[in-house]
Chains A and B, each alone.
Chain A
Amino acid sequence: MSIAILPDDPQMRKRFGDLKPPLTPQAAVIEANRCLNCFDAPCTAACPTHIDVPGFIKRIASGNLRGSAMRILNANILGSSCARVCPVDVLCEGSCVLHRQNHKPIQIALLQRHAMDNFHASGQKLTIASRRANGPRVACIGGGPASLACAAELCRHGAQATIIERRPLPGGLNTYGVAEYKLRAADSLREVEMIQKMGVEFRFGVSVDSASALRELEAEFDFIFLGLGLGAMQRLGIPGEDLKGVTNALELIAGYKIGHIRQLHGTVVVVGAGNTAIDAATAARRLGAQKVYMLYRRGEDEMSAFNFEYEHAKQEGVQFLWRMQPLAIKPEAHGRLQLETVQVQMVNGTLVPVPDSRTTIDCDLIVPAIGQSPLAHFVQEMRGVEVSAGRIVADRATGRTGNSRYYAAGDCENGGREVVDAVAGGQRAARAMLKAAEVAHA
């Protein structure tokens, strides 16, 4: 694993520059001084990893940047990426009491980024407990945030953790699936490098997709942590979906992040209106598409994307086609595509086509972004691990599944939430495994 694998393309850097530029050191101190230092702060309570927000902010104000970063990392090992990708409007910043005083919440995310950037730039290291002889050995399947957090927490307490990732790079969606102007793949890898230096082992390009592979892991490890994430992007289920020129949101995002896609042109249609759909649509704009449509079968009020994402997409020049459903994709001359659509409306709780409302959109790229499918087919192989509605069933407080050697957290368990939720879940599972191992040895 190395950050050097990633292409460093000046044009891409310019196109995908920071959506929110970092604070200057002085701006950070001024902002930090604005923080009231609430008791039992609502921002801390709102954070799934319960970062001591006033604690790290007041350390910025006092000039104790090292302490600030440690305060963050103690609660959330992915504090660096969370500072960039968290929907803080509905988390820490959303709960800031200053909303009620002067309507200007503290810019917690930017302050957290300031502390973490300083930590990485100054080459500081985390101190970890020395490895315990009788500590549990844990295999973490999947290299995304849940596994990273779980493995880091285990290592910090002297246990042994091995992350098994099918792709060539670790980090999961942090590396492959977040808009580059929010979190650069390089920053994600830098964070993983820190975790690697803590003693977490990585196996890349290894797929664990059979009962025999699991049995081998069971023989080698005491516990298996499932940080699998979700499965492939869901298909539209319409004719023409396999034509050249039809991709999906995660493929598009991963493609430009690792350098496979450098340029788009013409018209791009993104189908769906979630946060990933917006990341794909804005990326298409920045990659050069003249027109980018987001097509959604429901209305503006029902889109699942966060409000700030929606506002951002509008600013980027993305156009929205509400209450429209794709029917078929047809090939056109010169590799272009034609998307047949129909207007729909809600009648007695179901969406039905509006008569005589068919239209076609000439386009160059179609990007389905209607969510990821669950991984049910794989986890069925694991005896005793119950799967319900595509999610692995696990105890909320411990992540323990029906099989006492299997723990799970992150998207595969919660159905698809944020990085910070995966981190919190991974940490809880790690602590539970440590405790279970202690009991077993007692």
Chain B
Amino acid sequence: MPDIRVRGFAGSINSPNPFWLASAPPTNTSEMIMRAFDAGWGGAVWKTIGEPITNVSSRYSATDWNSMRMMGFNNIELISDRSIETNLREMAEVKKRYPHNAVIASLMVESTREAWHDIVARTEDAGADGLELNFGCPHGMSERGMGSAVGQVPDYAQMITEWVKEKARTPVLVKLTPNITDIRAVARAAKRGGADGLSAINTINSITGIDLDTFTPRPNVDGKSSHGGYCGPAVKPIALNMVQQVMSDAEAALPFSGIGGIASWRDAAEFILLGCGTVQVCTAVMHFGYRIIEDMIEGLENWMDEKGFKTLEDFRGLSLTRVTEWKHLNLNYKIVARISEQKCIGCGLCHIACWDGAHQCIHLDRESGPVDGHVELHTKPALREMQSRATITETPVTRKERAVAVQGTNPTPLGRIPRVDETECVGCNLCSLVCPVDECIAMVRIDNGPAETWDERVTSSTCATQPRS
């Protein structure tokens, strides 16, 4: 089996696997963290420690999607509501009983050098393997000059990082907020301040929804709400983009702990492919419990095994070189959609998507056999539906009628299998994305000669702009 241990992350942090619990409700107490380690989690970032706060109820809300719960999740809970002493006493106990798991202390105190020096010293005395500076919390704390109020101003972030580094003996990670125009600005500042690593993303400012009966956004606190931090599967694409931005920037790149919608080993593998050394999980655990770690470990190991990767370093950052600026993409690369007659179930979704959302090149005109090439006469979708509703249909009541009736159990009739006009197909992928059947629509490369990017075209056309004779 592959070795998924993490060694010397951000200098000296070790953990039995790259899966950490993010600083959040699942890491509120020692009792919880020890249960998580028992379940298999490699590390835990302690629920942010600072001067205890008072929370409101309720605190969470979610975005459901098509009957699935918590596609996105939102919270207005603040940092730990327990005393610094209690948290640090428990941390020492955890570290003593679980010496091989990574215990990271998330910290947030008022923006003075003394306050930071004090908390860093006390936390390291408690045995933390590393520190995570919470410059990301977007709600409540930011109104008090902490959290994202720091993370949105590169100079503040750099200054506090420097204060912490004056004192810290363990690796210092700076947790970045996504609520900023360019996340690299703060990442660079943290690096200038001497940070040993970064973690991102923190939650995104959000209003998850509004109750259409009370007109109050959720979560409802006595008739009012406040913007919260958005996380869960919905934010993963945003997080991946920000990770890539930072990791591809020489002035910003540091050992990275990826956060944002990670719920499975697949998600984790993607973050690692963009350069992350560890990943942090919260929403998925809040949804399903610590037990999800088992599949995350197994799945990652099995995938690495299939791909021949022996350690995490074997594939970490592999995808970074595959992200580029648009101007470097090959303009002559052309793919077209091919629909499998055997797999097509006849739902017509690619047809309507192509007509109303793309380039009108998927047609339902195959009544008798394959039609190839460009056909200019098409029945428009609305007309087709109208025609079909004007048809007189009867219930097949006799056995004979039933035998010839169009049934879903029969193969898809040719008239319902769309064809692609390849002369018009721009290879946008939309049809293959809406198709409900795996591998039914393939995007196939067609030969288009040598590669040429926009950058190259602009450069060469500049050269070619000679006065004509």
Tally of contact residues, A, Cβ under 8 A: 42
- Chain B residues with CB under 8 Å of A94's CB are 405, 407-409
- Chain B residues with CB under 8 Å of A36's CB are 347, 349, 436
Contact of B345 among A40, A101, A414 (CB under 8 A): A101
A98 with B408, Cβ < 8 A, contacts A36-B436, A39-B348 known = yes
Q: A352 near B: Cβ within 8 Å? A: no
Chain A min CB distance to B239 (Å): 26
The stretch that binds B, out of A134-142, A335-343, A380-388, A417-425, is A417-425
The answer to whether B399 touches A302, judged by C-beta atoms less than 8 angstroms apart, is yes
The answer to whether B381 touches A33, judged by C-beta atoms less than 8 angstroms apart, is no
Q: B66 near A: Cβ within 8 Å? A: yes
**Max count, chain A CB within 10 A of own CB: residue among B396, B407, B408, B409:** B408
Q: B34 near A: Cβ within 8 Å? A: no
The answer to whether B399 touches A29, judged by C-beta atoms less than 8 angstroms apart, is no
- Chain B residues with CB under 8 Å of A428's CB are 392
The answer to whether B406 touches A46, judged by C-beta atoms less than 8 angstroms apart, is yes
- Chain A residues with CB under 8 Å of B409's CB are 94, 99-100
Chain A min CB distance to B65 (Å): 9
Q: A44 near B: Cβ within 8 Å? A: yes
Considering the complex, give the chain A residue whose CB is closest to the CB of B352: A39
Q: B462 near A: Cβ within 8 Å? A: no
The answer to whether B407 touches A95, judged by C-beta atoms less than 8 angstroms apart, is yes
The stretch that binds A, out of B100-108, B111-119, B190-198, B382-390, is B382-390
- Chain B residues with CB under 8 Å of A99's CB are 407-409
The docked-state distance in angstroms from the alpha carbon of A166 to that of B347 is: 46
Chain B min CB distance to A229 (Å): 15
The answer to whether B437 touches A42, judged by C-beta atoms less than 8 angstroms apart, is no
- Chain B residues with CB under 8 Å of A396's CB are 392
**Max count, chain B CB within 10 A of own CB: residue among A33, A50, A421:** A50
B residues 389-407 near A (Cβ < 8 Å) are: 389, 391-399, 402, 405-407
Contact of A45 among B381, B388, B398 (CB under 8 A): B388
The answer to whether B66 touches A61, judged by C-beta atoms less than 8 angstroms apart, is yes
The docked-state distance in angstroms from the alpha carbon of A101 to that of B351 is: 18
A residues 37-74 near B (Cβ < 8 Å) are: 37-42, 44-48, 50, 61
The answer to whether A30 touches B67, judged by C-beta atoms less than 8 angstroms apart, is yes
The answer to whether A97 touches B66, judged by C-beta atoms less than 8 angstroms apart, is no
Considering the complex, give the chain A residue whose CB is closest to the CB of B401: A90
The answer to whether A414 touches B393, judged by C-beta atoms less than 8 angstroms apart, is no
- Chain B residues with CB under 8 Å of A420's CB are 395
Q: B364 near A: Cβ within 8 Å? A: yes
Chain B min CB distance to A72 (Å): 14
Contact of B408 among A29, A37, A48, A100 (CB under 8 A): A100
The answer to whether B396 touches A90, judged by C-beta atoms less than 8 angstroms apart, is yes
Contact of B393 among A45, A96, A302, A416 (CB under 8 A): A45
Chain B min CB distance to A181 (Å): 21
- Chain A residues with CB under 8 Å of B436's CB are 36, 101
Considering the complex, give the chain A residue whose CB is closest to the CB of B212: A63
Q: B63 near A: Cβ within 8 Å? A: no
A311-351 interface mask toward B, CB cutoff 8 Å, 1 = contact, 0 = none? 00000000000000000000000000000000000000000
Chain A min CB distance to B434 (Å): 9
Chain B min CB distance to A173 (Å): 14
- Chain A residues with CB under 8 Å of B402's CB are 90
- Chain A residues with CB under 8 Å of B396's CB are 90
Q: A245 near B: Cβ within 8 Å? A: no
The answer to whether B399 touches A304, judged by C-beta atoms less than 8 angstroms apart, is yes
- Chain A residues with CB under 8 Å of B352's CB are 39
- Chain A residues with CB under 8 Å of B260's CB are none
- Chain B residues with CB under 8 Å of A29's CB are 67
The answer to whether B388 touches A87, judged by C-beta atoms less than 8 angstroms apart, is no
The answer to whether B345 touches A87, judged by C-beta atoms less than 8 angstroms apart, is no
Q: A238 near B: Cβ within 8 Å? A: no
The docked-state distance in angstroms from the alpha carbon of A94 to that of B395 is: 11
The answer to whether B364 touches A40, judged by C-beta atoms less than 8 angstroms apart, is yes
Q: A105 near B: Cβ within 8 Å? A: yes
Chain B min CB distance to A30 (Å): 5
- Chain B residues with CB under 8 Å of A86's CB are 395
Chain B min CB distance to A299 (Å): 12
The answer to whether A397 touches B392, judged by C-beta atoms less than 8 angstroms apart, is yes
Q: A289 near B: Cβ within 8 Å? A: no
The docked-state distance in angstroms from the alpha carbon of A90 to that of B395 is: 7
A residues 94-115 near B (Cβ < 8 Å) are: 94-101, 105
The answer to whether A95 touches B408, judged by C-beta atoms less than 8 angstroms apart, is yes
Q: B248 near A: Cβ within 8 Å? A: no
Q: A194 near B: Cβ within 8 Å? A: no
The answer to whether A414 touches B348, judged by C-beta atoms less than 8 angstroms apart, is no
Chain B min CB distance to A426 (Å): 13
Chain B residues near A (Cβ < 8 Å): 66-67, 345-349, 351-352, 364, 381, 384-385, 388-389, 391-399, 402, 405-409, 411-412, 416, 436-437
Sample (8) of A-B pairs whose CB atoms are under 8 Å apart: A39-B348, A39-B349, A39-B381, A86-B395, A90-B395, A417-B395, A418-B397, A424-B392
Q: Which 5 A-B pairs have the closest CB atoms?
A: A99-B408, A39-B348, A39-B352, A100-B345, A97-B345
Apart from A96-B408, A105-B408, list 7 A-B contacts with CB within 8 A. Answer: A50-B388, A61-B66, A87-B395, A90-B402, A99-B409, A417-B394, A424-B394
